[in-house]
């Protein structure tokens, strides 16, 4: 017997899925009040054209979709509620490439320390796109560093208190 999950993903080379979709009305609690669908997973081939087709199936008329890497800094949801709209986001390719160099540096560092599976998180600060946060996970504790995403970034690495994630 094929599980419900396996059936949902069958037939796709690269499956894209969305399990919740809602209208943004600024009334608050949009996910629950203005749901298009909730907990009814929709699947599609994860390609630009199929993502665009899926989005436009809700009555939109977008011409293009842009898929950014994680370290570009774009996030849909703001930390303290609300949304970041994609059409107002200013992507900086140079800054994204520097952030990826920084990620690779710390990934290689963790590998050199003997970790078979490096365990770190690197993300762009929500309010300052020139600031990166590095969270390294150790046995029983975490440490957080702030890094300025500039050319000589290695000189800016500073251990800081994050105030969450136990560090």
Instruction: pLDDT band for 125, please (50, 70, 90 cuts).
Output: very high
Q: Which two tokens stand for residue 134?
A: 């590095």
pLDDT recorded at residue 167:
67
pLDDT recorded at residue 26:
77
Termini Cα distance of the chain: 45
24-49: pLDDT as tens digits: 887 777 777 777 876 778 888 999 99
- Other CB atoms within a 10 A radius of the CB of residue 104 amount to 11
2-22: pLDDT as tens digits: 555 666 677 888 888 888 888
Instruction: pLDDT band for 165, please (50, 70, 90 cuts).
Output: low
- For the chain, list the strands marked E by DSSP: 15-22, 35-45, 120-124, 131-138, 141-148, 158-160
């Amino acid at each position: 017997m094929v599980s419900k999950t396996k059936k949902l993903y069958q037939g796709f080379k690269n499956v894209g899925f969305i399990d919740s979709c809602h209208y943004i009305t600024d009334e608050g609690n949009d996910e629950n009040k203005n749901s298009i669908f909730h907990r009814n997973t929709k699947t599609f081939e994860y390609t630009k054209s199929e993502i665009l087709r899926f989005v436009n199936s809700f009555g939109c008329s977008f011409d293009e979709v842009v898929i950014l890497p994680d370290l570009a800094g774009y996030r849909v949801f703001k930390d303290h509620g609300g949304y970041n709209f994609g059409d107002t986001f200013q992507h900086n390719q140079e800054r994204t490439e520097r952030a990826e160099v920084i990620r690779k540096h710390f990934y290689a560092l963790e590998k050199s320390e003997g970790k078979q599976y490096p365990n770190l998180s690197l993300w762009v600060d929500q309010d300052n796109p020139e600031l990166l946060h590095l969270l390294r996970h150790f046995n029983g504790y975490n440490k957080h560093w702030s890094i300025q995403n500039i050319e000589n970034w290695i000189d800016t690495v500073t251990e800081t208190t994050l105030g969450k994630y136990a560090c």
